[in-house]
Amino acid sequence: MIEFKGLRESIRWGSPREEILLVLKRLCEFSARQGITIRITSMNDHSHQQADPETGQRASLHYSDLALDCVIYKRDGTLHKAMMNKLVRHLRMHLLGAAYDIVYGTKGHHTHCHIEYDCHQRASKEPHV
């Protein structure tokens, strides 16, 4: 099951994009096979990344409806790290194409998985694990 529940506020998704619909399909498949709930914690809502000081633009793809954050919790409410690692492997195998970035276990991404579709492949300052 997929659950939409923001951490700070309600989840907003301005314009459903095919690229993220595919991500949601893959999340649903994984959830059904594993018998677990995946919580979508963010899409196009709250503040994701500071604006670039030179351009004033935010680099986060959340604002373009091309990114989401998700998490899997154990029954006791703690992060299910083993299942999160399994989910990341599943997504990397089933979201074919170099345009998808799946970030988990790096600075700022220890408590959730960030998935984005970046057809321009921006340079990343963080290693993608």
Domains defined along the chain, listed by start:
2-48+59-117 (3.30.1380.10)
Rounded Cα distance, 23 and 9, in Å = 22
Band (47; pLDDT cuts 50, 70, 90): low
Band (96; pLDDT cuts 50, 70, 90): confident
Rounded Cα distance, 87 and 118, in Å = 20
What percent of the chain is modeled with pLDDT above 90?
Answer: 54
Global pTM? 0.80
pLDDT of residue 121: 55
Q: Is there a contact between 25 and 61 (Cβ–Cβ < 8 Å)?
A: no
**Of 46, 40, 38, which is closest to residue 62 (Cα–Cα)?**
46
Mean pLDDT of the chain: 84
Q: Which residues pair with 115 in a beta bridge?
A: 68, 102
Per-residue pLDDT of 51-88, as tens digits, reads 555 655 557 788 888 999 999 999 999 999 999 999 99
Rounded Cα distance, 17 and 66, in Å = 7
